Structure 1
Amino acid sequence: MALTLGILLCDDHYPESQAVYGHYDEAFKRLFDNSAVSSFVTYRVFEDAFPASPSECDVWLVTGSKWGVYESDPWITQLIDFVQRCDQEGQALIGVCFGHQLIHLALGGKAAKSNKGWGMGLYPVRILDQGAFDTGAQQTTLNLIAVHQDQVLESAPDFDVLAGSDFCPIAITQKDSRVLTMQCHPEFTDAFLLQLIERLREKAGDEKVDEAAAIIRACGMGDRSIVIDRLFAFLDQQMVSREKRQA
């Protein structure tokens, strides 16, 4: 029997985006189509809807968000506590963007608004663990979809950094075989990202948005498929681990 993925939804798409792309959790359901996941349960944690126990699902996904992990909203504090419980109980975790930052913060790392400014569009990160990615031609760089100001500034103990750059040194990380986190957005398509960054023009500035949009139009989704393969392999690992526990 395949895995159940619990989506800890930390935000939703803007209303005008929902007509085209659906709610934010639907992007992850499309992403994990044909993976080891057979069912999904969504918890709108940013609206205070939390699971009762880490054992309710096989794997937990902490999504992106417009909030900062350092903000004092009660749901963020409660989510940090839930992630800590998952880690203590050995439950598998995936973190994307805000989720990447929150998992590191919850488990002893540091995350904050970066003084390097916006990371937006497609940007390159160096592969630091070649064995973690199936790159075929053994490429050394991944071009990944991202949009963020906040970053993990100090990784939590026992995490390995799988990819990073001068701009975002802690871009993709893993702890043992149970936790996988990434600053990039593998769930975003190029079309969705173009719509999203237009909404950020006032905050990020015309130059940054125009540059990001030009790169996206020229290069599409970059190496998104390689990161998706890494996610699928991680889920396969969870299947194997579960089968061993049940044997």
Structure 2
Amino acid sequence: MKKLAVMDNSLWPEIYDPTSHWTEFIRLPYQAFRAEDGEFPDLDDGFTHLILTGSEASIVNPPAWVEKEVEVVRKAVNKGLAVLGSCFGHQLLVLALAGPSHVRRAAQPEIGWIEVEVLQPDPLFGEKGKLWVFSSHYDEVCDLDEEKFQIIARSQNCQVQAFRLKGQNVWGIQAHPEINPANARRLLTGMLERNFSGWEVIEKALSSSGKDSGWIETISRYFSRAGDKI
């Protein structure tokens, strides 16, 4: 039986509730764990899937709990779990598997709805082409070893929008396909209220109409099947 662990990395769930965002689409039996509260899954307890969510924290100046989560990630990969990291979780996945030299502050934050190009077909991310998705990140993944990681997607300002660990059901995605326009506006408004940097970019995103190509449908469908050796 499949069982999902959601590693919830949010700091302010009143503005950003990634567990509910992801489990709306990935309908597996699940248990959520809040890193900020010191909660982490016992991966020997029957878990088959692991999601690493985004966070308001920065991977280049990480909270103390990141060290423990890195251990969880490495164990999950070694045990053959299906793993998906989004935004901060995407970066944390690379931190765990490649080291701190492969994450950095982004030259240009991506806040709002962005166009992403899928460079090559992938069972999780779908066919080659361009699509729109919500994004909110100040940090990014960089300089991946392409013998180990397959770079699947990019955007104008981020060269590693999505990757797969070769030979395994382990993926990272920089954007937030799970966040619909209403939840995106709630997050952006909360970021303004908490004086996040780049307020001009946040306000611009809030004033725009949300463009969402529904990428989450492809991602959630295939991730749920990952234990079937897709």
Q: CA deviation at 1:185?
A: 0.9
Find the residue that maps to 1:53 and give its secondary structure. Answer: coil
Give ranges in structure 2 of 5+ residues lacking alignment: none
Partner of 1:178: 169
The one-letter code sitting in structure 1 at the alignment partner of 2:174 is Q
1:51 aligns with 2:41: yes
Contact 1:177–1:237 (CA<8 Å) still a contact in 2? no
TM-score by length of 2: 0.86
Q: Output aligned runs, 1:156-171, within 5 Å.
A: 158-171=148-161
| AA in 2 matched with 1:51 | P
Is structure 2 residue 104 aligned with structure 1 residue 126?
A: no
Q: CA deviation at 1:12?
A: 4.7
TM-score, with normalisation over the residues of structure 1? 0.80
Contact 1:8 1:62 in 2 (8 A): yes
Are 1:208 and 2:201 counterparts? yes
Q: Provide the aligned length of Structure 1 versus Structure 2.
A: 223
Q: What amino acid maps onto 1:127 in structure 2? A: V
Deviation at 1:125, TM superposition (A): 1.6
Query: For the residues of structure 2 that align with 1:91 and 1:205, how far apart are their CA atoms?
Result: 37
Instruction: Give the Cα–Cα distance (whole angstroms) in 2 for the partners of residues 170 and 10 of structure 1.
Output: 21
* Corresponding residue for residue 7 of structure 1: 6
Give runs of ≥4 in structure 1 deviating > 4 Å: 131-135
1:75 equivalent in structure 2: 65
How far apart, CA to CA, are the structure 1 residues paired with 2:74 and 2:177? 24
* Of 198-207 and 187-196, the range deviating more from structure 2: 198-207
% identical aligned pairs: 21
Q: Give the alignment of 1:94-105 within 5 angstroms.
A: 94-105=84-95
CA distance in 2, matches of 1:166, 1:92: 29
Task: Measure how far apart 1:205 and its partner are.
Answer: 4.0
In 1, the alpha carbon distance for the partners of 2:13 and 2:38 equals 19
Letter in 1 for 2:218: D
Structure with the higher fraction of residues in helix conformation = 1
Match of 1:24 among 10, 18, 22: 18
One-letter identity of the residue aligned with 1:24: P
Query: Are residues 162 and 214 of structure 1, via their aligned partners in 2, closer, same or farther at CA, if it must alter by over 3 Å?
Result: same
Aligned to 2:5, the other structure's residue is in SS state strand
Please state how far the C-alpha of 1:161 moved relative to its aligned partner: 1.1
Which has more radius of gyration?
1
- Classify 1:127/1:48 alpha carbon distance in 2 versus 1 (closer, same or farther; 3 Å): same
Give how far 1:72 is off. 4.7
Cα 1:103–1:206, aligned 2, differ >3 Å: closer, same or farther? closer
Verify the 8 A CA contact 1:9 1:63 in the aligned structure 2: yes
Structure 1 residue 152 corresponds to structure 2 residue 145: no
Q: Which residue of 2 aligns with 1:88?
A: 78
Give the letter for the 1:91 counterpart: L
- In structure 1, how many angstroms separate the alpha carbons of the residues matched to 2:217 and 2:103? 24
Measured after TM superposition, the shift of residue 165 of structure 1 is: 2.2
